[in-house]
């Protein structure tokens, strides 16, 4: 069960932070994935 | 007391209390409302605008011009139009141009001493006390409210006593603030009459509002303090609390007005390029930097006020003779420090906003601050910020020692120390340093091949956010000190919190590294998600932690008073560092105008229109800090002379008999 908790937590946190970074950069008119395009 | 009143009397009492509050509120805020008409009309007419003699002179000049030109051309010359230097709109130039000064006794009367330093000291002392007396009533309001809504009667009494202790300290300080304000005005009038005359002609419509709100603030403060015992229970207590709301509203208006003057000096608006007032006082007030300064100063004042009250509590703790007193002042210091730190955490973000606005207003001003003449002062500031956070963490770790169960966290503290030190070292690394040619050659260039990489904003943002996140984690551990969550989802909650903090730190570091690989215009935007990540830790994890600890199992009581004395010295250091940093930042903010009284509008032609060396500035700041602390110690001492109220006995925690304060082991 611990592994499931860890996996879910990591997935949720990663999604949250990447989403947050993307949205806040986009709100400033900037491209978060600049380097990868 | 409540049983003495019949229901009818109680209704009457409630009615009178509410009526009294409304009347008091109306009277105390009357100056603001009365002045609204002046503000709405742009400060013109009988209540604002330039002085009558200026208007008369302008009228005479216009008439003379009309007589010379004759006919219709003269009619046009009557109203001269100016263009706002900031808003870029045209308006009638109703004020006199900014005086063009010269280095002589007429414009700059002087003693055999540098006038700027005299004004600097007077300004700084007034600001210290002003900040303190504006912050403390806000704390009082919060603490009194906490006491009123507390279901535990003993705790309610303790909170009430604490709020009373806070306001008692600020009362004496309030008198000193007024005295220092008077000294400041006299210093301005005596040493900088031309500049002060110009500034007061621009702000004439709101000068009297400032004075009247000061009167209103004094009245409210005295009623609030002296009415404490009379308005102790029932609806009167709510009236009393409402007085503190009024007090804080007035205090905030006062501060906003004072901020508008310095904001005008840095980023003038509402005047044309000659400095002539264009008839709209709102434009003069609402300059580019006014709101960022307002937010930054509110937070700064609160952090500073919390620090000073905590230092007072530490001083009383260290001089306490009994365990009971020691427990009370330990608790007081903890509350004050927590409040101060709560405002310290968002303070760097408000600072970033202010700097962004400075760059947006004048890029050159931003470069002077952070990349040019004053950049080294920012390195000192970074060091001070690092010290503040390190000290806060140190106090929290010490405070864990007074809780049963707190020792569970001790072994992890070394990891936090590692993150904090790494973050601090990156945060204080300068971009370039002044070197001799030999040193330059030995290092291979202006920048160190490795450490030089850390001297840029991308790395520094990562460093400070890592420090703040770690502080939030320390605070969460402190909350958990003597408690164990018992909710059914506690295991998942713990794992989730751990993952959240780890990924937040990794995200922060990734963004900092990412900044090295993308252009500056994209990189600058990364600071926003970095800040948001840190705030997410604070705003999501703290409530989650509290939810987990609700109805949690207590491992033991908090042993108030049983904390090593070094924790109290940490608090005193925290407060001193706040004071020093305020002095430093005030100097930086003021000296960025370089040789201007009012940026690009009124030139400073005094012999002191240059930027001091860092060493000299640091000495004056240190003198100001020393002067403030000596005088505030006097205020503290005065506070102990009055009728001594014995700290209320309340079972905040059950004291452990026979256990005296002992130094904590470890760290």
pLDDT beyond 50 at B22: yes
CB B403 within 8 A of CB B559: yes
CA B168, CA B352: separation in Å to the nearest integer?
Answer: 35
> Phi/psi of residue B92, each to 5°?
-70, 130
* Interface contact B500, partner A, CB < 8 A: yes
CA distances from B320 to B164, B326, B558, B561, B640 (A): 19, 6, 19, 10, 12
CA distance B392 to B389: 5
Instruction: Give strand pairing partners of B598.
Output: B602
Angle between helices B7-40 and B204-226 (to 10 degrees): 160
Q: What is the pLDDT of residues B436-467, one digit of tens each?
A: 889 888 888 878 888 888 888 889 999 999 99
> Could you tell me where the DSSP H helices lie in B561-646?
565-591, 614-641
B503 touching A, CB under 8 A? Answer: yes
pLDDT at B639: 75
Structure tokens at B381: 């500031």
CA atoms within 13 A on the CB side of B520: 2
The answer to whether residue B1 scores a pLDDT higher than 50 is no
More confident residue, B206 or B78: B206
Minimal CA–CA distance to B310: which of B179, B166, B446? B166
Cβ-nearest to A6 among B499, B522, B533: B499
pLDDT, tens digit (0-9, with 9 covering 90-100), for B345-377: 888 889 888 998 999 999 999 999 887 888 889
Strand positions, DSSP E, B247-360 = none
Q: What's the ipTM?
A: 0.96
End-to-end CA distance of chain A: 39
**DSSP class of B279:** S
**For A1-37, what is each residue's pLDDT tens digit?**
899 999 999 999 999 999 999 999 999 988 888 888 7
Query: Does the pLDDT of residue B47 top 50, yes or no?
Result: no
What CA–CA distance (Å, rounded) separates B600 from B73? Answer: 32
Q: Which pLDDT score, from 0 to 100, does residue B42 have?
A: 45
Give A31 to chain B, closest Cα distance, Å: 7
Which pLDDT band, with edges at 50, 70 and 90, does B653 fall under? very low
> B376-406, pLDDT tens digit by residue?
898 898 999 999 999 999 999 999 999 988 8
Q: What is the pTM of this model?
A: 0.80
Alpha-carbon gap: B521 to the closest alpha carbon of chain A (Å) = 8
- What was the pLDDT predicted at B65? 53
Going by pLDDT thresholds of 50, 70 and 90, the confidence category of residue B16 is low
- Going A18 to A21 to A27 to A28, the CA torsion angle's sign is negative
Whether B564 and B662 have beta carbons less than 8 Å apart is answered as yes
pLDDT at B48: 40
pLDDT at B530 over 80: yes
- How far apart (Å, rounded) are the C-alpha atoms in residues B304 and B307? 5
Q: Using CA atoms, how far apart are residues B217 and A20, in angstroms rounded to an integer? A: 43
Residue of B nearest to A14 (CA): B503
Q: What is the mean pLDDT of residues B173-200?
A: 93
Strand-pair category, B90-92 with B483-484: unpaired
Residues in chain A: 37
Pairing of strands B596-598, B81-83: unpaired
Write out chain B residues lying below 8 Å of A21, CB-based.
507, 511, 529, 533
Q: What is the pLDDT of residue B185?
A: 93
Residues 520-579 of B with CB under 8 A from A: 521-522, 525-526, 528-529, 532-533, 536
* Cβ atoms of B268 and B362 closer than 8 Å: no
| Residue A31, φ and ψ in degrees, nearest 5 | -100, 115
Percent of chain B whose pLDDT exceeds 90: 57
Would you place residue B659 in the very low, low, confident or very high pLDDT band (cuts 50, 70, 90)? Answer: very low
Phi, psi of B597 (to 5 degrees): -75, -55
DSSP B133-167: HHHHHHHHHHHHHHHHH-S-HHHHHHHHHHHHHHH
Summarize the confidence of residues B503-525 as an average pLDDT.
92
- Alpha carbons within 13 angstroms on the beta-carbon side of residue B539 total 7
Phi (first) and psi of residue B101, to 5 degrees:
-90, 165
CB contact under 8 A, A6 and B528: no
**In chain B, positions 27-86, which contact chain A (CB-CB < 8 Å)?**
none
Chain A to chain B Cβ contacts (< 8 Å): 62
Q: pLDDT by residue (tens digit) across B313-349? A: 999 999 999 999 999 999 999 999 988 888 888 888 8
Other Cβ atoms less than 10 A from the Cβ of B23: the count is 10
Cβ–Cβ gap A20/B503 under 8 Å: no
- What is the three-class DSSP state of B90? strand
> What backbone phi and psi angles, to 5 degrees, belong to B228?
-55, -50
Specify whether the CB–CB gap between B485 and B493 falls below 8 A: yes
Q: What pLDDT sits at residue B378?
A: 87
SS3 string, B202-265, reads HCHHHHHHHHHHHHHHHHHHHHHHHCCCCCCCHHHHHHHHHHHHHHHHHHHHHHHHHHHHHHHH
Provide the sign of the torsion angle of the four alpha carbons B286, B287, B291, B297, taken in this order.
negative
Contacts with B496 from chain A: Cβ below 8 Å? 5, 9, 12-13
Single out the residue of B305, B477, B494, B306 nearest to residue B393, CA to CA. Answer: B477
Three-class secondary structure of residue B603 per DSSP: strand
Mean pLDDT along residues B10-29? 64
Dihedrals phi, psi of B271, to nearest 5 degrees: -130, 160
State the DSSP H helix or E strand holding residue B304, giving kind and residue range, or none if neither: helix B290-318
Which of these, B321, B324, B427, B446, lies nearest to B380 by C-alpha position?
A: B427
**CB half-sphere exposure, B185, CA atoms < 13 A:** 9
Spell out which residues of chain A touch residue B517, defining contact as CB-CB under 8 Å.
Answer: 35
Shortest Cα distance, chain B CAs vs residue A37, angstroms: 12
User: Which residue of A lies nearest to B526 if distances are taken between CA atoms?
Assistant: A25
Q: Where are the domains of chain A?
A: 2-36
Q: How far apart are CA B122 and CA B78, in angstroms?
A: 42
Interface test with B, best of A5, A23, A37 (most B CBs within 10 A): A5
Q: Is the Cβ pair A9, B533 closer than 8 Å?
A: no
State the nearest Cα–Cα gap between A4 and chain B, in angstroms: 9
Which DSSP symbol is given to B515? G
Q: What is the pLDDT of residue B50?
A: 47
Q: What is the DSSP letter of B513?
A: H
Q: Which token pair is B201?
A: 């002609």
Query: Which residue in B491, B496, B503 is closest to A14 by CB distance?
Result: B503
Q: Judge: B496–A28 Cβ closer than 8 Å, yes or no.
A: no
- Kindly tell me if the per-residue pLDDT of B497 is higher than 60: yes
Chain A contacts to B (CB-CB under 8 A): 1-2, 5-6, 8-10, 12-14, 16-18, 20-21, 24-25, 27-28, 30-32, 34-35
B488-498 mean pLDDT: 95
Checking if the pLDDT of B40 tops 80, the result is no
Q: Could you give phi then psi for residue A32, rounded to 5 degrees?
A: -65, -35
């Amino acid at each position: 069960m611990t592994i499931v908790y860890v996996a879910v937590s990591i997935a949720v946190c990663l999604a949250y932070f990447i989403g947050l970074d993307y949205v806040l950069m986009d709100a400033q008119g900037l491209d978060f994935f600049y380097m990868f395009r | 007391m409540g049983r003495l009143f019949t229901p009818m009397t109680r209704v009457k009492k409630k009615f009178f209390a509410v009526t009294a509050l409304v009347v008091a509120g109306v009277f105390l805020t009357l100056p603001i409302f009365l002045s609204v008409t002046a503000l709405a009309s742009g400060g013109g007419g009988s209540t604002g605008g330039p002085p009558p003699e200026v208007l008369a002179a302008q009228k005479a000049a216009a008439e003379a011009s009309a007589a010379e030109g004759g006919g219709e051309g003269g009619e046009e010359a009557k109203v001269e139009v100016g263009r706002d230097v900031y808003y870029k709109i045209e308006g009638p130039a109703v004020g006199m141009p900014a005086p063009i000064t010269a280095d002589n006794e007429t414009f700059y009367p002087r003693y055999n001493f540098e006038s700027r330093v005299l004004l600097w000291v007077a300004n700084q002392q007034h600001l210290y006390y002003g900040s303190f007396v504006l912050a403390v009533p806000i704390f009082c309001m919060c603490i009194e409210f906490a006491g009123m809504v507390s279901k535990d009667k003993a705790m309610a009494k303790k909170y009430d006593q604490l709020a009373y202790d806070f306001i008692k300290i600020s009362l004496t300080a309030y008198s000193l603030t007024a005295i220092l304000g008077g000294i400041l005005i006299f210093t301005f009038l005596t040493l900088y009459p031309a500049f002060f005359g110009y500034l007061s002609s621009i702000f004439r419509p709101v000068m009297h509002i400032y004075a009247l709100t000061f009167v209103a603030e004094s009245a409210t403060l005295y009623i609030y303090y002296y009415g404490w015992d009379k308005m102790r229970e029932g609806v009167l207590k709510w009236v009393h609390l409402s007085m503190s709301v009024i007090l804080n509203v007035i205090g905030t208006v006062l501060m906003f007005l004072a901020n508008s003057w310095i904001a005008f000096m840095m980023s003038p608006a509402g005047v044309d390029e000659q400095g002539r007032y264009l008839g709209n006082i709102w434009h003069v007030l609402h300059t580019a930097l006014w709101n960022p300064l307002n937010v930054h100063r509110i937070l700064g004042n609160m952090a500073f006020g919390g620090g000073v009250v905590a230092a007072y509590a530490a001083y009383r703790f260290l001089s306490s003779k009994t365990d009971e007193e020691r427990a009370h002042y330990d608790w007081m210091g903890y509350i004050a420090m927590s409040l101060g730190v709560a405002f310290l955490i968002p303070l760097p973000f408000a600072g970033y906003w202010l700097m962004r606005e400075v760059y947006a207003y004048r890029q050159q001003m931003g470069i002077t601050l952070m990349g040019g003449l004053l950049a080294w002062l920012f390195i000192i500031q970074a060091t001070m910020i690092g010290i503040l956070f390190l000290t806060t963490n140190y106090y929290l770790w010490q405070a864990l020692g007074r809780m049963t169960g707190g020792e569970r966290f001790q072994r992890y503290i070394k990891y936090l120390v590692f993150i904090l030190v790494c973050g601090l070292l990156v945060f204080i690394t300068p971009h370039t340093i002044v070197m001799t040619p030999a040193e330059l050659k030995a290092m291979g260039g202006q920048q160190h091949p490795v450490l030089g990489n850390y001297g840029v904003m991308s790395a520094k943002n990562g460093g400070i956010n890592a420090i703040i996140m770690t502080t939030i984690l320390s605070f969460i551990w402190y909350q958990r000190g003597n408690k164990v969550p018992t909710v059914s989802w506690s295991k998942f909650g713990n794992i989730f919190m751990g993952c959240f903090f780890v990924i937040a730190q990794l995200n922060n570091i990734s963004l900092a590294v990412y900044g090295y690989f993308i252009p500056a215009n994209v990189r600058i935007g990364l600071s926003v998600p970095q800040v948001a990540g840190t705030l997410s830790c604070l705003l999501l994890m703290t409530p989650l932690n509290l939810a987990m600890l609700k109805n949690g199992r207590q491992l033991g009581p908090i042993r108030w008073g049983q904390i090593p004395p070094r924790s109290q010295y940490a608090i005193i250091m925290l407060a001193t560092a706040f004071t020093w940093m305020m002095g430093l930042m005030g100097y930086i903010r003021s000296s960025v105008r370089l040789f201007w009284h009012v940026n690009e509008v009124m030139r400073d032609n005094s012999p002191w229109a240059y930027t001091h060396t860092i060493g000299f500035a640091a000495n004056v700041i240190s003198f100001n800090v020393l002067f403030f602390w000596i005088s505030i110690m006097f205020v503290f001492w005065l506070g102990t002379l009055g009728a001594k109220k014995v700290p209320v006995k309340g079972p905040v925690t059950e004291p452990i008999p026979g256990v005296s304060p002992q130094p904590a082991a470890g760290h």
